[in-house]
């Protein structure tokens, strides 16, 4: 993986040498370059900012230096990350996504921000992600770029001494907050280590740790316990038999596009009756989303009868007029999060020519499985549960 940083404060990235990325670079698994934006200015004062059109306080970063910098640093397939308070919220899922990229360029703004035409231009030459570290205001994008770097680099294969530790972490897939940890001495400040941790009973220790993690999460981050709302607050709830009619209608509407994309009508979802839907509502854990009373999206999951360690996911449906807003991605996250403990992998299938669906699943970490049997005209994708 290669990481490049564009900034007017290159020294901000000196820590990279010291930290994990530094070690990773030494091992050749990671390259990075830090570039002073002023090298792409041509006036005596090396000017990178000017007054805002429309007036207002502060200064705005000029487009020209950025245009030249991006032209030099961005390559085909690069992902450009603008760290900005108006970006999508950075989280572990986004860290995992960025960790799949070969080349990430961090564009770190200062002042009141970067001329918007720079971002618009960048979208024409590369994948662009505008990312915010969180809902508070920093003075520039460098700190956020460093934080994103650490969260991403530590996920790269071979970086963390024991990849196993990545599995149990907070915010990892379906993640609870950390359980309390202790080390020697047994007594400190008149305080004892919980006896269960000294018992050697690994089952009891695992149960205690899970209980502590659930209790902490419920107290501090209840939103992490089965994220059951969409970004707009619409709840994701278990379906009932009463939803069967609307589910049938939504299903027919959504699979018309599948039939068109795959040039085939022999798709079970298109041929099911109301009773068929009522039937599978009894076999699958099905979740629906309503907006203003209208059933607008749904998804179902069940343990694969032939292999109860596999969680089958299916019938991800979003009303055609609401597609492209991330509902599908949120439902895919939800149905993974609610999978029972014994599920160690997820499996789903979609049309062989359903490029948009396949992109959604691949971005969520699923991989095509040409080695697994697939219904006619479809492809199977699977994903190991972290
Ligand atoms: C980039 C300039 C400062 C922001 C006027 C203060 C990220 N989570 C985050 N908070 N703040 C940033 C961030 C702030 C930045 C820049 C990122 C470039 N500023 C500006 C707008 C208000 N000043 C961030 N990621």
- The predicted model gives 67-81 an average pLDDT of 97
Is the pLDDT assigned to residue 143 strictly greater than 70?
yes
pLDDT at 29: 77
Distance from Cα 78 to the centre of ligand 1, integer Å: 23
Is the pLDDT assigned to residue 223 strictly greater than 80?
no
**β-bridge mates for residue 214, sequence order:** none
pTM (whole model) above 0.85: no
226 band by pLDDT with thresholds 50, 70 and 90? low
Please tell me the residue having the least CA distance from ligand 1 atom 9. Answer: 85
Identify the three-state secondary structure at position 261. Answer: helix
Please tell me the residue having the least CA distance from ligand 1 atom 3. Answer: 139
Distance from Cα 103 to the centre of ligand 1, integer Å: 23
From the options 3.40.47.10, 3.40.1280.10, 1.20.1250.20, 3.40.50.720, give the CATH code of 2-153: 3.40.1280.10
Identify the three-state secondary structure at position 333. Answer: helix
Q: Look at domain 165-220 and name its CATH class.
A: mainly alpha
pLDDT at 138: 97
Identify the three-state secondary structure at position 97. Answer: helix
Please tell me the residue having the least CA distance from ligand 1 atom 5. Answer: 112
Average pLDDT score over the chain: 90
Burial classification of residue 44, based on how many CB atoms lie within 10 Å of its CB (0-12 exposed, 13-18 middle, 19 or more buried): exposed
23 band by pLDDT with thresholds 50, 70 and 90? low
pLDDT at 172: 60
Higher-confidence residue of 55 and 167: namely 55
pLDDT at 237: 85
Q: Picking from 14-18, 157-161, 219-223, which range would have the lowest pLDDT averaged per residue?
A: 157-161
Residues within a 6 A CB radius of ligand 1: 83-85, 109-113, 132-134, 136-141, 144
Per-position DSSP letters for 283-316, written without gaps between them: TSEEEEEEETTEEEEEEEEEEETTEEEEEEEEEE
Give the Å distances, CA to CA, from 111 to 43, 50, 63, 131, 352: 19, 10, 13, 17, 48
Domain boundaries, the chain: 2-153, 165-220, 236-384
Of 84, 114, 81, the closest CA to residue 3 belongs to 81
Distance from Cα 143 to the centre of ligand 1, integer Å: 10
- The predicted model gives 215-233 an average pLDDT of 71
Burial classification of residue 298, based on how many CB atoms lie within 10 Å of its CB (0-12 exposed, 13-18 middle, 19 or more buried): buried
162 band by pLDDT with thresholds 50, 70 and 90? low
Distance from Cα 126 to the centre of ligand 1, integer Å: 22
- The predicted model gives 15-40 an average pLDDT of 81
Which tokens sit at 195? 């006896």
Q: What is the pLDDT of residues 33-42, one digit of tens each?
A: 999 999 999 9
Count the neighbouring beta carbons within 10 Å of the beta carbon of residue 74: 20
Mutation probe of ligand 1 site: the residue of 7, 56, 59, 85 with most atoms within 8 A of C-beta? 85
Distance from Cα 72 to the centre of ligand 1, integer Å: 24
Is the pLDDT assigned to residue 20 strictly greater than 70?
no
Distance from Cα 109 to the centre of ligand 1, integer Å: 7
CATH topology of domain 236-384: Aminopeptidase (3.40.630)
- The predicted model gives 116-128 an average pLDDT of 97
Per-position DSSP letters for 181-236, written without gaps between them: ---S-SEETTEEPPGGGGS--HHHHHHHHHHHHHHHHHHH-GGGSS--B-TT--BE
Please tell me the residue having the least CA distance from ligand 1 atom 19. Answer: 140
Residue 135 alpha carbon, nearest atom of ligand 1: 8
pLDDT at 345: 95
**Interacting residues of 69 by C-beta distance below 8 A, sequence separation 6+:** 6, 35, 37, 39, 40
Helix (H) or strand (E) holding 141, with range, is none
Bind-site residues: 109, 133-138
Is the pLDDT assigned to residue 219 strictly greater than 80?
no
Residue 134 alpha carbon, nearest atom of ligand 1: 8
d(CA 131, CA 359): 20
Q: What is the largest CA-CA distance in the chain?
A: 77
DSSP 114: B
Is the pLDDT assigned to residue 382 strictly greater than 60?
yes
Bind-site residues for S-adenosyl-L-methionine: 109, 133-138
d(CA 111, CA 57): 10
Higher-confidence residue of 207 and 105: namely 105
């Amino acid at each position: 993986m290669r990481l490049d940083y564009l900034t007017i404060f290159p020294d901000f990235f000196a820590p990279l040498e010291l930290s994990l990325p530094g070690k990773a670079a030494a091992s050749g698994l990671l390259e990075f370059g830090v570039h002073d934006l002023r090298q792409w200015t041509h006036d005596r004062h090396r000017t990178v900012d000017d007054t805002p059109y429309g007036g207002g306080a502060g200064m705005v970063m000029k487009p020209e230096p950025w245009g030249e910098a991006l032209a030099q640093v961005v390559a085909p397939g690069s992902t450009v990350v603008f760290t900005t308070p108006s970006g999508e919220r950075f989280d572990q899922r986004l860290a995992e996504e960025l960790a799949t990229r070969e080349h990430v360029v961090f564009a770190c703004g200062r002042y009141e921000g970067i001329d918007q035409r720079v971002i618009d231009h960048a979208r024409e030459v590369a994948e662009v992600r505008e990312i915010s570290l969180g809902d508070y205001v920093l003075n520039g994008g460098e700190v956020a770029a460093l934080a994103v770097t650490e969260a991403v680099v530590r996920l790269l294969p071979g970086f963390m001494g024991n990849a196993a530790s990545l599995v149990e972490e907070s915010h990892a897939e379906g993640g609870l907050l950390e359980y309390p940890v202790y080390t020697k001495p047994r007594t400190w400040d008149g305080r004892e280590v919980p006896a269960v941790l000294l018992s050697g009973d690994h089952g009891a220790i695992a149960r205690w740790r899970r209980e502590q993690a659930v209790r902490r999460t419920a107290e501090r981050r209840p939103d992490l316990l089965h994220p059951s709302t969409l970004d707009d607050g619409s709840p994701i709830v278990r379906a009932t038999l009463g939803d069967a009619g609307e589910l049938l209608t939504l299903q027919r509407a959504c699979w018309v596009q599948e039939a068109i994309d795959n040039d085939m009508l022999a798709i079970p979802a298109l041929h099911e009756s109301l009773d068929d839907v009522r039937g599978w509502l009894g076999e699958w854990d099905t979740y629906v989303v309503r907006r203003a009373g209208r059933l607008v999206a749904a998804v179902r999951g069940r343990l694969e009868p032939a292999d109860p360690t596999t969680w089958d996911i299916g019938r991800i449906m979003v009303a055609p007029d609401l597609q492209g807003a991330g509902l599908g991605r949120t439902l895919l996250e939800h149905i993974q999060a609610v999978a029972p403990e014994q599920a160690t992998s997820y499996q789903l299938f979609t049309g062989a020519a359903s490029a948009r669906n396949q992109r959604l699943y691949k971005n969520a970490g699923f991989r095509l499985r040409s080695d697994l049997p697939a219904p006619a005209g479809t492809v199977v994708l699977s994903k190991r549960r972290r």
